[in-house]
Amino acid sequence: MATSRTASAVWNGDLLSGSGVVSANSSLAFNELAVSWKARTEEAESNTSPEELLAAAHASCFSMALSAGLSRNGTPPSKLEVEATVTFSQVESGWKVTSSALRVVGSVEGLDLEGFKNAAEAAKDGCPISGAIKDNVELSVEASLNT
């Protein structure tokens, strides 16, 4: 079964001084979030960016993949706190998303740190958002357990 989700963007003006908005058309979870070039390359100042939206997508996808993997192994998590940091860099050919670094802190009964790190690596490699960007973006994960 395939599913599709739709988002939209409206941009006004040139790249450097213009601005726009993005909306989640399928879920209506957000409407007309402000975006700008300055938010991508300098300070966010209450604007979002494609990279921040990618980070949110990667963090949520990874948390679901890790939860599923841990549950399949008989150690379902009680909580996973995930942060994704997506880096947008100027390279020789222009601007590029260069990395997505995941950091997860988990509360998982009956699993040691090594097992959690292994599960986190598998989730990083198996999450569909990782699959969409791997081989083009450096992916990493740092995992720790609450004690």
The per-residue pLDDT for range 88-134, each reduced to its tens digit, is 999 998 999 999 999 999 999 999 999 999 999 999 999 999 999 99
Does position 60 have pLDDT exceeding 80, yes or no?
yes
Give pLDDT, residue 147. Answer: 73
Query: 15 falls in which pLDDT band (50, 70, 90)?
Result: very high
**If residue 83 lies in a helix (H) or strand (E), which one and from where to where?**
strand 77-91
Q: Going by CATH, does the domain composed of 50-145 fall within 3.30.300.20?
A: yes
Q: What is the token pair recorded at 68?
A: 């599923």
What's the whole-number average pLDDT of the chain? Answer: 96
Tell me what the mean pLDDT of segment 34-53 comes to.
Answer: 93
Pairing of strands 94-108, 77-91: antiparallel
Give pLDDT, residue 45. Answer: 86
Spatial CA neighbour of 122 closest among 139, 145, 135 = 139
Tell me what the mean pLDDT of segment 60-65 comes to.
Answer: 98
Q: Where in the chain is the domain with CATH 3.30.300.20?
A: 50-145
Per DSSP, 119 falls in state H
